[in-house]
Structure 1
Amino acid sequence: MTVPRAEDEGFDRRSLHERIAADLRDEIMGGDLPPGAKLPSTVQLKGRFDASNATVQKALQLLKDERLVVGRAGAAVTVREHRQRTVRPAVYMAPAEPGEPCPWLTESSKGGARARSELLDVAEVTASADVAEALGLPPGGSALLRGQLLLIDDEPVELVKSYYPLEIARGTAMTKRRRIKGGTPAFLADLGYPPRLSVDRVSARVPTQEQYNVLQLPSNLPVLRTLRVVHSDGDRPIEASVLVKAGHLYELRYEFTAE
């Protein structure tokens, strides 16, 4: 492998160990290096990337910090089991059946995982510009925020901040600092606002300080940010949620049918 010079057009300005980690990360996430597979040896990686032993070790340490691989000095490095999760957003739209937990808990618990949520905040706040627009609020308008952290096997996986129009939320249990049994979709449906349409806007972003700390991210890798707007009858927006998850551990799966 020939390392490009700084003056070459399109030169990747990341350090070599970051570039090595990026290529290996892509192979892990793409399935070329599946869970349980051994990574190429240090000697093989040195030859492939024309790198020193120290540079290869720094690249492998990045992947270990990201919890993608495991291994110790002098031993084979292997891809960790069950690290990447596929999320199907459409599954979470329907309200839970009476007495059942919210769909996220049900889906995430499949396969024996322990899924739970922590309620972080409930307050009336000034909505950000994109949330205000989504809910049809004037610039600087207020909404009810319900923020929570989702965890799987006690590992933080997603930061969720959901916003609701005050004319819907005020005077209800949504304003209380406690969990909503069955989740807010079921509660809103009981209030007369069943979900009819959910629209996702997904982007990759550098994590904010809050996201970096709450999700315990290992580095400055991008996060997947979803702005999800739920509409009820008459196309009325009833919820706008900002969902943030580690980009290197998740993929989103959308299914479409031809009309």
Structure 2
Amino acid sequence: MTLPTPGATAHDPRPLHARIAADLRDAIMNSDLAPGSNVPSTARLKERFDASNATIQKAVQILKTEGLVVGRAGAAVTVRANRQQTVRPASSLAPAPAGAAYPWLAEIAGRPGTEARSDLIGVAETEVHGDLATALGQENGTLAVLRQQLITMGDEPAELVSSYYPPAIARGTALAEPRKIRGGTPTLLAGLGFPPRTSVDRVSARVPTRAEHAALRLPGDLPVLRTLRTVYSDGHRPVEVTVMVKAGHLYELQYEFTPE
């Protein structure tokens, strides 16, 4: 592992232990510190950053709290084997065959040692504002049907999913009912005469809201990845707008493109 020089963070206003944790976090996320490998020893980190034992311990504790490393008394601190999951957003657009698991959940569940499930938090009509209203093609303060789910991997919350639907499409259908939808919403929308044709994702990194922080049991003040997805049907009509929020230090997004 190659550590940056202390001078590279000379103008960083964060405490030294936070800067050390940030450098180690980057090494873990870019695989400079590979899964299962040892974190540099306290002695090496002390020398590299001109830091005390207590400062190094605080830095490593941050990474333990974030779930990126594990350690026990008398043993080296190691990088977690599943320190970061790759999510392929395109898989969530595919309809599921009758009786089968959603393709994106099946993909996650197919990874060794990983169980995934989706829990429906609630269904209600709510006002939409800002980018949500714009994406739905509605005025600020108008109503949309909201379906909110929490995706869990193993015993850890992974993603908070909030999907909004125009009332003209959702009212009187399973979209507005507090139950899971067999085959997923792509299948249902197609059956309602609004087959998904195009999806547009806008991805940003943001500080989590209080609700997101609580639902995802996030440590500290790390940012989340927020994906705003608009699904269009025929005539470029928006039929679904979804906000997907996941911990930025535990998940990455993979998009695949084919040149035309």
Do they superpose with TM above 0.5?
yes
Q: How does 1:242-257 map to 2 (within 5 A)?
A: 242-257=243-258
Per-residue deviation, 1:164? 0.3
Within the alignment, does 1:216 sit opposite 2:222 as a pair? no
Distance 1:202 1:90 in 2: 14
TM-score normalized by structure 1?
Answer: 0.95
Per-residue deviation, 1:2? 4.5
Letter in 2 for 1:54: A
Per-residue deviation, 1:117? 1.0
Identity of aligned residues (%): 62
Within the alignment, does 1:47 sit opposite 2:47 as a pair? yes
Letter in 1 for 2:209: T
Letter in 1 for 2:71: G
Distance 1:183 1:19 in 2: 43
Cross-structure match for 1:149: 150
Cross-structure match for 2:21: 21
CA RMSD in angstroms comes to 1.4
C-alpha distance 4-224 of structure 1, shift in aligned 2 (>3 A): closer
C-alpha distance 36-175 of structure 1, shift in aligned 2 (>3 A): same
Structure 1 runs of 4+ with >4 Å offset:
1-5
Per-residue deviation, 1:63? 0.2
Query: Higher mean Cα deviation, 55-64 or 132-141?
Result: 132-141
Tell me, yes or no, if the aligned pair for 1:94 and 1:195 is still in contact at 8 Å.
no
C-alpha distance 186-56 of structure 1, shift in aligned 2 (>3 A): same
Cross-structure match for 2:182: 181
Letter in 2 for 1:114: E
Task: Please give the secondary structure, in 1, of the residue aligned with 2:111.
Answer: helix
Within the alignment, does 1:98 sit opposite 2:98 as a pair? yes
Q: How does 1:71-220 map to 2 (within 5 A)?
A: 71-112=71-112, 113-220=114-221
Per-residue deviation, 1:89? 1.1
C-alpha distance 60-176 of structure 1, shift in aligned 2 (>3 A): same
Task: Please give the secondary structure, in 1, of the residue aligned with 2:204.
Answer: strand
Distance 1:94 1:152 in 2: 20
Per-residue deviation, 1:206? 0.6
Query: Higher mean Cα deviation, 238-247 or 74-83?
Result: 74-83
TM-score normalized by structure 2?
Answer: 0.94
Cross-structure match for 2:31: 31
Letter in 1 for 2:135: A
Residue by residue over 1:212-258, the C-alpha shift from the partner in whole angstroms, topping out at 9 and shown as x without a partner, is: 11100011100000000001111110000010000000111111222
Cross-structure match for 1:62: 62
Distance 1:171 1:109 in 2: 33
Letter in 1 for 2:32: D
For structure 1, which runs of at least 5 residues remain unmatched after alignment? none
C-alpha distance 187-60 of structure 1, shift in aligned 2 (>3 A): same
C-alpha distance 76-118 of structure 1, shift in aligned 2 (>3 A): same
Letter in 1 for 2:224: V
Distance 1:228 1:16 in 2: 38
Tell me, yes or no, if the aligned pair for 1:118 and 1:149 is still in contact at 8 Å.
yes
Tell me, yes or no, if the aligned pair for 1:129 and 1:140 is still in contact at 8 Å.
no
Report how many aligned residue pairs link the two structures: 255
Tell me, yes or no, if the aligned pair for 1:95 and 1:189 is still in contact at 8 Å.
no
Per-residue deviation, 1:104? 2.2
Distance 1:194 1:12 in 2: 50
Distance 2:6 2:150 in 1: 44
Residue by residue over 1:155-206, the C-alpha shift from the partner in whole angstroms, topping out at 9 and shown as x without a partner, is: 1000000000000000111111111112111111111111111100000001
Letter in 2 for 1:201: R
Letter in 2 for 1:120: I
Distance 1:63 1:245 in 2: 17
Query: Higher mean Cα deviation, 189-198 or 242-251?
Result: 189-198
